Amino acid sequence: MEGTIKSKILDADGIRRAVTRIAHEIVEKNKGTDKLVLVGIRRRGVPLAERIQKYIEEFEGVKVPLGILDITLYRDDLSTIDIHPVVHETDIPVSIEGKAVILIDDVLYTGRTARAALDATMDIGRPERIQLAVLVDRGHRELPIRADYVGKNLPTSRREVVAVRLKEVDGEEDILLLERDDINIK
Amino acid sequence: MKWQRKDILAIEDMSVEEIRHILHTAKVMKEILMRPIKKLPTLKGKSVVNLFYEASTRTRTSFEMAAKVLGADTTSIAVAQSSVSKGESLYDTAKTIQAMRADVVILRHPSSGSAKFLADILDPAVINAGDGQHAHPTQALLDIFTMQENLGKLEGKNVVIVGDVLHSRVARSNAWCLQKMGVNVTFAGPPTLVPVEMEGLGVKITHDLDSALPGADIVMALRLQLERQKSGLFPSLREYSHLYGLTTERLKKTGKQSIVLHPGPMNRGVEISDDVANSVDALIERQVTNGVAIRMALIYLLIGGSSNVVA
Amino acid sequence: MWWLKDVWVIDPSQKISASRDVLVKGGQVLEISSSLTEKEVLEKAQGESLETINGKGKFLFPGLIDVHTHLREPGQEDKEDILSGSRAAVRGGFTTIMAMANTQPPIDNRALIEFVCRQGERAGYAHVLPIGTVTKGMLGSELVEMADMKEGGAVAFSDDGKNIQNSEVMRLALEYAKLTGFPIISHCEDKDLAGEGLMRRGVASGRMGLRGIPASAESVIVARDLILAEETGGKLHLAHISTTESVELIRKAKARGVDVTAEVNPHHLIFCDEEIGITDTALKVNPPLGSRGDREALIEGLRDGTIDMIATDHAPHTQAEKARPFAEAPFGIASLETALSAVWQYLVLPGRLSLDRVIEAWSDTPAQRFGLPGGSLKPGTLADMVLFDPDFSEVIESAKLVSKARNTPFLEKTMQGFPVMVWVEGRLVQRDRTVI
């Protein structure tokens, strides 16, 4: 990890509670599951979306459709980043025409990923509405974007890093706050 | 993997890993082509120049579409053929393109090696869209992409390429590409068009098509340039067609539901019978889409990040 | 007067290959001796100023004679001219060069022969000896005025660059040239077999999709010309031999007593077709580079005397002409300035050829065959000679080359073994790699 650990924000139980709450809020706010399509943003948005799908199925008895979105081709920083990003597949198995699409990601920060995800989603179809669910909102928005569902609001400084670790991806399950080692980062 | 290649000139010097990476990226691109809105912001502000010294509507359009879907601007320079000063104009044109600050140049040229020649001069990336009889890497990649869609894993499969191998860049690039992916390749045709030195590509060669067909998963017919008859390379279309024309009857010898491919345009009734040509036609829509997807993948890989842009 | 002390003299014409002292006076070799004292030398100088060169570790041999150079004048002076070409010659160790006739217009009459001689004298570096064409306009049909051209200074006849396709014309040429005593130099290439080919036909051409020229394109004409030479009793010299079959045909013809000699170019002894990259127009040459096997056969042929001479086939072209896709670039390698070094580095140093054999094939033999002055350091002969430093190394750089052409595969490469002093008729024309 890129820095020194300052504190643990949530442990596995904390994450479970936060995601379960988000699942409930999604159903409540959309008045049921009829129009829902869950879309996980690669990479950690995908296991989160799968968990939300599972929780909704547990308490509503309905398996809400689930898709995967890769936003690489929509990034606005392609010509400035040094490492050539590998594109992955976008796989949304159902039509999103007229649906309520819930974009799911781990951390909301500048808002640029969410912006790219919105553009990508709208190229795929014309949903009735799009909402955004994130596990952590750490502030410092650079675009007029806010999340509809937030697991944990976490005020941070730009020098800090929020590391979300999920079992499926990282083998660990927690959220950590780190201090960057290199001071010169903007 | 980290992509480090500046140009796409030939399959011969590519690694298996690179080919897999291109095919993987093309798969993503193909999904985008299936969307109602086929337009990405990815390469906004980048410019792609099509430089075609040979007429080829299909390949040029395919590259143009690929660039446009990715959000790049495209310019086409169709160069009239002048037999005397071709080389000079390629060098001079290269200098002009350099001044235009293009990001990618797509070159189709009648001289083998012209793509590398251009790439050595230019800072922008160069994609070889066919250079003489040397290479046609994007065609080979789209063919293998289609084969993979149809057959899944290609390792151990058998491909027979029939026809004028000697003069074919498609045959050369396909031979390299397929063999790198573990496919067994046989070249079939008359000894004048499939000479013994072609074994240097690592393929099997045969002059008896019928003996090569059993077990073939894919049969690819090459376009027979009719002027080769005048050069004495084969005596008549009738005899050629009799020995090497793909017919439904002959294809039964594969003992499989083999796929037939043809880089087009087809001489119906010569290298391919009408009914077999129809089965090729059935694949054409998919081949066209796959062609755009492969070319999108390549353009993206070459100029999608900053690491490959020469300052 | 020059006194070259303790230098290794190689002079095949006198069968010398030993450490000697050499004195040069009045433009001529005065004496070759195993040891001279300063007193003896001063006596011989008779008051003339004396320059003494310590030749230890260096070789002295007769100035090389190149029987095959293209100087492009008249007509293509953007590629090379007689002045730049003869400067390049002395920089490379050649004191006599035979200028090929395929200029624009071709050298097919006495006036043009005399023009070339005159330009060579004006330049004042290597001796420039013109080769006349065999046929008028190099069109392959009517013979030139050979006797008249001999009077004007021609030393041989050749339609080099083009093969004489018509066998009857070739037969007549071999017959008629008897009047002059000169050989017909044949560029063996069957036009139909060569077709639009770009390199030797083989695995490499097949792999790159570059149109191939089969080895037979040369060998069938070699066979034809040998048969015609045998039948007519004419003198035949075969230019730039490049195939195994040609070597074998020549070997057999010589055994039968056919009056034939043959030359080989350094590049055919050094490179082979597998080494050509698809944009390496510097290696695009005619006849094309052959296979590894051909290269071996040529070296063996040169060793056993089947091939008599080495010749550069110096073929200068402009950079713009070579900076083209392979198919569109002209054939040819500019090699006067690098040929000797290349042969030293790639053939002599690894022990493939002896330096003695190389010097014989590049000086004495050509002089004998074409009846030329030079090629020997016998006392009393004109002092055309080369001091060769086997340890001198140099990067082949555009700025240093004095030829107008840069089409050499050695460009930007470091090479070792160069002529460091060159005399023409006793006059120093090159010192420390600089043409004077």
Mean pLDDT of chain A: 91
Which of the 8 DSSP states describes residue C290? -
What integer pLDDT is reported at residue A79 of this predicted model? Answer: 64
Question: Based on the domain organization, do B105 and B152 belong to the same domain?
Answer: no
Put simply, the chain B residues between 3 and 22 with a CB less than 8 A from any chain C CB are 12
Residues of A in contact with B3 (CB under 8 A): 84
Our CA-based measurement puts residue A141 at a distance from the nearest CA of chain B, in whole angstroms, of: 22
Specify if B39 maps to a domain.
Answer: yes
B31 interfaces chain A, CB cutoff of 8 Å: yes
**The pLDDT value given to residue A82:** 57
Contact across the interface for B2 and A83, Cβ inside 8 Å: yes
Chains B and A touch (3+ CB pairs under 8 A): yes
C148 belongs to the catalytic site: no
Tell me the CA distances in angstroms from C21 to C5, C36, C59, C392, one per residue in order.
5, 7, 11, 21
Range of the domain at A143: 12-75+88-158
In 3-state terms chain A splits into helix, strand, coil percentages (rounded to 5) of 30, 30, 40
The answer to the question of whether C317 is labelled as a binding residue is yes
Yes or no, beta carbons of A119 and B41 under 8 Å apart: yes
Co-location of B143 and B272 in the same domain: yes
Is C389 annotated to bind ligand? no
How sure is the predictor about A185, in pLDDT bands with cuts at 50, 70 and 90?
very low
pLDDT of residue C150: 98
Q: Sign of the C-alpha dihedral, residues A18, A23, A24, A29?
A: positive
pLDDT in tens, A97-127: 999 999 999 999 999 999 999 999 998 899 9
Give CA separation, B193 vs A36, B196, B232, B271, in Å: 61, 10, 11, 13
CA atoms within 13 A on the CB side of A72: 22
User: Min CA distance, A150 vs chain B (Å)?
Assistant: 29
**Is there a contact between B108 and B90 (Cβ–Cβ < 8 Å)?**
no
Domain presence at residue A40: yes
The pLDDT of residue B80 is 64
Q: Does C87 carry a binding-site annotation?
A: no
Average pLDDT of B175-187? 98
- pLDDT score for B307: 43
Does residue A62 belong to any structural domain of this protein? yes
pLDDT in tens, B7-43: 999 999 999 999 999 999 999 999 999 888 888 899 9
- Same domain for B272 and B176? yes
End-to-end distance of chain C based on CA atoms, in angstroms? 18
- Work out whether strand A129-137 and strand A100-108 pair parallel, antiparallel, or are unpaired: parallel
Q: Which of A4-13, A15-24, B226-235, B242-251 has the lowest mean pLDDT?
A: B226-235
Residue range of the domain that includes B145: 138-283
Alpha-carbon distance values, A6 to A1, A11, A116, A140, B72 (Å):
12, 14, 31, 19, 44
- Touching subunits of A (3+ CB pairs, under 8 Å) are B
Residue stretches of chain C with pLDDT short of 70: none
CATH 1.10.760.10 fits C2-60+380-435, yes or no: no
Asked if residue B170 is part of any domain, the answer here is yes
The answer to whether B172 contacts C324, with C-beta atoms less than 8 Å apart, is: no
Q: Is residue B5 part of a domain?
A: no
In this structure, the answer to whether residues B249 and B211 fall within a common structural domain is yes
* A73 neighbourhood in chain B, CB within 8 Å: 28, 32, 40-42, 70, 300
Nearest CB to B116 within list C210, C278, C328: C278
- Give the chain C residue nearest B197 (alpha carbons): C203
- Does some domain include residue A5? no
Q: Which residues of B touch C212 (CB under 8 A)?
A: 197
Residues B158 and B230 in one domain: yes
Q: How many domains is chain B built from?
A: 2
Kindly report the backbone phi and psi dihedral angles of residue A108, in degrees, each rounded to the nearest multiple of 5, phi listed first.
Answer: -105, 125
Q: Domain count for chain A, please give it.
A: 1
B103 DSSP assignment: S
User: Do B250 and B189 fall within a single domain?
Assistant: yes
Q: How confident is the model at residue A80 (pLDDT cuts 50, 70, 90)?
A: low
Helix (H) or strand (E) holding C32: strand C28-33
Q: Is B104 helix (H, G, I), strand (E, B) or coil?
A: strand
Give dist(CA A37, CA A104) in Å, integer: 11
Query: Is the distance from CB of C93 to CB of C422 less than 8 angstroms?
Result: yes
- CB contact (8 A) between residue C325 and residue B117: yes
Neighbours of chain C (3+ CB pairs under 8 A): B
Q: Which of B25, B239, B53 is nearest to B145 (CA)?
A: B25
- Cβ-defined contact of B306 to A90 (cutoff 8 Å): no
Could you tell me which chain A residue has the CA closest to the CA of B45? Answer: A79
DSSP 8-class letter at C96: E
Q: Is C30 annotated as a binding residue?
A: no
Q: Is C214 within 8 Å of chain B by CB?
A: no
> Which superfamily does CATH assign the domain made up of C62-370 to?
Metal-dependent hydrolases (3.20.20.140)
Q: How many CB pairs under 8 A join A and B?
A: 66
Q: Write the pLDDT tens digit of every residue in A141-178.
A: 999 999 999 999 999 999 999 999 999 999 999 999 99
**Cis amide bond preceding C325, omega within 30:** no
Q: Is residue A129 part of a domain?
A: yes
Q: Where are the alpha helices (DSSP H) in chain A?
A: 12-29, 45-60, 112-124, 167-170
* Half-sphere exposure at residue C14, Cβ-oriented, CA atoms within 13 angstroms: 18
Tokens of C91: 């920089």
Please answer yes or no on whether B40 and A74 come within 8 Å at the CB atom: yes
B128 in the same domain as B161: no
Instruction: Give the Cα separation of A16 and A19 in Å (integer).
Output: 5
Answer whether residue A171 is part of any domain.
no
Claim to verify: residue B261 and residue B181 sit in the same structural domain:
yes
Do A159 and A140 contact (CB within 8 A), yes or no?
A: no
Give the best residue of C192, C326, C331 to mutate against chain B (max B CB count within 10 A).
C326
B206 touches chain A (CB under 8 A): no
User: What DSSP line would sit under A154-173, residue for residue?
Assistant: ----TTEEEEEE-HHHHS--
> What is the Cα gyration radius of chain B?
19
C72 known member of a binding site:
yes
Chain C residue with CA closest to B91: the answer is C324
Query: What pLDDT is attached to residue A83?
Result: 58
Reported as a single tens digit per residue, the pLDDT across B262-280 is 998 899 999 999 999 998 8
pLDDT at B88: 53
Residue B3 touches chain A, beta carbons under 8 Å: yes
Is residue B212 domain-shared with residue B247, that is, in the same domain? yes
Asked if residue A6 belongs to a domain, the reply is no
CB pairs under 8 A between B and C: 78
pLDDT higher than threshold 60 for residue B311: no
- Cβ–Cβ below 8 Å for A89 and B31: yes
| A78/B306 touch (CB, cutoff 8 Å), yes or no | yes
Contacting B residues, span 48-77, partner chain A, CB-CB under 8 Å:
70
What subunits make at least 3 CB pairs under 8 angstroms with B?
A, C
Tell me, rounded to whole angstroms, the distance of Cα B280 from its chain centroid.
16
Picking from B31, B41, B43, the nearest residue to A90 by CB comes out as: B31
Per-residue pLDDT tens over the stretch C245-261? 999 999 999 999 999 99
What's the average model confidence in pLDDT over B114-119? 96
List, for residues B279-310, the tens digit of each pLDDT value: 888 888 899 999 999 999 999 999 987 544 33
Closest chain A residue to the Cα of B36, Cα to Cα: A124
B91 contact residues in C (CB cutoff 8 A): 320, 323-324
* Position B263 in a domain: yes
Which residue out of C313, C364, C384, C389 is catalytically annotated? C313
| Structural domain boundaries in chain C | 2-60+380-435, 62-370
- Please give the residue of chain B at the shortest CA–CA distance from C322: B87
CA of C81 vs chain B CAs: smallest distance (Å): 23
Q: What is the CATH number of the domain that holds A64?
A: 3.40.50.2020
Both B58 and B37 in one domain: the answer is yes
Q: What is the 3-state secondary structure (H, E, C) of C218-265?
A: HHHHHHHHHHHHHHHCCCEEECCCCCHHHHHHHHHHHHCCCCEEEEEC
Report the pLDDT value the prediction gives residue A81, as an integer from 0 to 100.
61
Of B77-81, B110-114, C399-403, the range with the lowest mean pLDDT is B77-81
